[in-house]
Structure 1
């Protein structure tokens, strides 16, 4: 049962006989570095190596250029009044300015707040207020989104205020808006103008400031959800991000040679921030952004012309990429494909090997509350381990699986996965109650995932204790959608569940009880939701029922709702 190739790892680990507990002690020491110091170390090592190639913007930045631009932008942030630990939102698709803003916040001791580019006005208002955001860096327009207009909807005062002088009762903390645009937009700083503000002495002061930034300070907030109610905002330190991403990069073999990574995932997601950007920074890898958002045709072009050796994506992205490759038959030969968001099926593995020339597939499991990685593929795994597990427990972490009473279960028995280690969140921003629910006095973090822990340190996801729906790698929280659907005048009550979908993994299904004599269609739901929530939250399927299955105590049984839908389909 224990594979010979794992003997070295197992000899460095400790597990209680027959119990679902594993401790990977690690073979290297954790490093007390900030993200800004890491950027400087990598720049000193590879100054002229490209850090980011943005094909859609026709821009290439070396690590030296990233450092210089980050320090310039950090100095500009200081000039417009931002102080260490102020929260700065970044609301844009994948672009050079997103990357530089990330690094500028690290160099200036600011807290980067990642925002989904699909958010709508009400959602962004809630998030600004959730963490008392002081500044926002955003694109002007992208696809159907007009970010400036969204901000005007939230803060109409923006149109009549000087740049940096915003005062709005709807978002009291927000003072400055920086727009990535060639247009002069009332009340905002233009990104291009902002970086011309600092003098040489201002930039030098940023370089001299680095030893004042504590690696244990908060550097990053990644929301677990994003709309109605109060979203949870896990806080992570420089120490968390630097070290977890180092081991992720090492596990993905970025330490073995200079790799070029085709980035299909959005920067704002933990996949983009930690698994992609920070891991590449640790090991001097080059990021290639084919397009502002996922486009399989553009990804193929990047693989072909940039000769990318690594691809990052979710299973859905790989399905679409393979479809495009079948049509175009481009010359690509990728060494490593990193897959996250959902496990890789045996069929998908074969397709990736056949059509994309992938030599190795690396699985990864994590959650926002652990900055990203918890379990990850090791080298030279067989098909069973790649397709049936989420990888091996990462270094310097402990894992155990417990029953509903908190007692460890035997190896191979399902239960809730708990994690303990250096990378667990510092807590939810200004939400002590939820933080205590997440992390106990013993420092074990409750993932809410039903899991099987193997004796050799590998893990399998059995199901989710939480009601989170994973659609194409995107975490969707039903209650947020239910709360909005229930505002429809013809809907009496709603439940939102995930049902299987061949390409996306799951699709969002709204199950509704209607008011007497009312009639509602899926198109009605779409119209009710459009512009009020991100597109991926909008139900793509609807079922009308007379009642919901419930327990004796009156609790609605969502698993039975799903069973009923699937049985009805048959």
Structure 2
């Protein structure tokens, strides 16, 4: 009998939404006009759905007044603020392509992103933390002839709103009638850990449907209040957060401009949030906060942990200590809008905390041999590929990179190693480029990380490969102890002996207070490797790649 293959598809009685973001928001407003749509605590802003619609209408007309045409690229460089949300929907309503700019960018990255996308209008915060965005824009603007207009949110917001008074409702309606749900609507730059960032180009259809089906999986309705501390410039914030809410009449709650664990805990309690989002490091910071027990989090029932591998023990703590009994794990990537798989709120505990769930509705997933592209039998690790409505239109202005990622069958090659079990649950083993090849043995960092999280004094662990003249690569673990705790290399080695294979026990250890991180909370393993090579005095050699 032939073994079942690692292929699965998401059948669903719920059809895809065949509408633009503006049309979907209009339908939500018609049903829930008096319900609260948006809360920005740091700004003291509250809007009902009727008020959000009016604000997006004024700003959409303002964009038209300032000459923004369908397909024009409009940049947005700001931390999480209510203006970000309004611009997201206003730009979509006039057919502009919103270009998300990472709040952590410096001048070279800013200039690259604006030039690459051909941004003609840029909205920006005046500053973020100690960084003056206005000064950085002034430095790069002379080298960007296509950038004709810069609007500072702190100073010019009223100007854009007032300008809308010169454009009629009929003119805006005429523009909206020209739009198609397959139009490009958003450019999001990938992290660019190797080479320059690439601009994943996404349509109304891509992101609206993904947000909708994320919300469906979470059981969202108008009584849900979703705390969104993840950045809006990333799919986690603007799609899984904002679009999941507005497609269901739920409330978007912004705890602050950037992640702060205390602000999140305060917001959940004060706003009676029913759902909370975060990458694992965010949940760890909340759980380990010295005032964690001071807050009543019983309003929570669900949420999402995603963005990087979710340690099983952390997930269990979130369920038991934060009352998030229906929390889910999502897996995806920017290029797939982003979610491809998600756990269900009624999955058995071992599946809900130990896998990334099953394939999303209207999406296909397969696991292939990275060398041959052949679909593997279930249970064997290989590269995860995904296909469906969520796959991006392509990388903006980079056909070669698009072809390298999306094959002739429209399968997106993720670069992630995964397995599919007999019931269709997907488990992420690691990144192909993160896999450690030690003396011919394939070692998956996540397996070791999961085990180290069982240590009672370990808060977080990250495992990388470093060069070795003898084995090609050796294993190194970075470990962050729980607050007020200490841990030694000797006891960590002893903890591993007899429990995991000898060749998987790290050769090198580093106890740290923090990890190199991206602004979205993802650990930068490439940076850890660079630091380790320098500190250990190793010779940096080329990685043995599997694809």
TM over 0.5: yes
Alignment of 1:167-566 (within 5 A): 168=142, 170-182=143-155, 190-199=156-165, 201-225=167-191, 230-255=196-221, 258-324=223-289, 326-333=291-298, 334-403=300-369, 404-466=371-433, 500-502=478-480, 539=527, 541-544=531-534, 548=539, 555-557=542-544
CA distance change for structure 1 residues 400 and 437 in 2, over 3 Å: closer, same or farther? same
CA distance change for structure 1 residues 74 and 327 in 2, over 3 Å: closer, same or farther? closer
Post-superposition offset of 1:262: 1.1
Find the residue that maps to 2:416 and give its secondary structure. Answer: strand
Post-superposition offset of 1:133: 0.8
Post-superposition offset of 1:81: 1.8
The runs of 5 or more residues in structure 2 that have no matched partner are 436-444, 450-463, 465-472, 483-515
Contact 2:65 2:167 in 1 (8 A): no
Distance, in Å, in 1 between the alignment partners of 2:377 and 2:40 is 49
Contact 2:12 2:361 in 1 (8 A): yes
Post-superposition offset of 1:535: 12
Distance, in Å, in 2 between the alignment partners of 1:197 and 1:226 is 37
Q: Does residue 65 in structure 1 map to residue 62 in structure 2?
A: no
CA distance change for structure 1 residues 294 and 177 in 2, over 3 Å: closer, same or farther? same
CA distance change for structure 1 residues 350 and 130 in 2, over 3 Å: closer, same or farther? same
Find the residue that maps to 2:402 and give its secondary structure. Answer: helix
Contact 2:533 2:539 in 1 (8 A): no
Post-superposition offset of 1:203: 3.9
Find the residue that maps to 2:430 and give its secondary structure. Answer: strand
From 105, 111, 123, the equivalent of 1:119 is 105
Give CA-to-partner distance per residue, 1:458-479, whole Å, 9 cap, x none: 10011101459999xxxxxx9x
RMSD (Å), alpha carbons? 2.9
Contact 2:316 2:353 in 1 (8 A): no
Distance, in Å, in 1 between the alignment partners of 2:407 and 2:27 is 36
Distance, in Å, in 1 between the alignment partners of 2:479 and 2:50 is 45
Contact 1:122 1:227 in 2 (8 A): no
Find the residue that maps to 2:37 and give its secondary structure. Answer: strand
Post-superposition offset of 1:229: 5.4
Contact 2:76 2:98 in 1 (8 A): yes
Contact 1:118 1:145 in 2 (8 A): no
Give CA-to-partner distance per residue, 1:248-272, whole Å, 9 cap, x none: 11011114x6200111111111100
Number of residue-to-residue matches in the alignment: 469
Question: Could you state the TM-score of these two structures normalised by the residue count of structure 2?
Answer: 0.80
Contact 1:313 1:339 in 2 (8 A): yes
Contact 1:129 1:171 in 2 (8 A): yes
- 2:125: which partner in 1? 139
Contact 1:343 1:388 in 2 (8 A): no
Alignment of 1:25-64 (within 5 A): 25-64=11-50
Give CA-to-partner distance per residue, 1:72-128, whole Å, 9 cap, x none: 111111222211110111110110111011111011110011111111111100000
- 1:99: which partner in 2? 85
Find the residue that maps to 1:195 and give its secondary structure. Answer: helix
Distance, in Å, in 2 between the alignment partners of 1:64 and 1:90 is 24
Distance, in Å, in 2 between the alignment partners of 1:535 and 1:398 is 26
Distance, in Å, in 2 between the alignment partners of 1:498 and 1:277 is 38
Find the residue that maps to 1:197 and give its secondary structure. Answer: helix
- 2:10: which partner in 1? 24
- 2:62: which partner in 1? 76
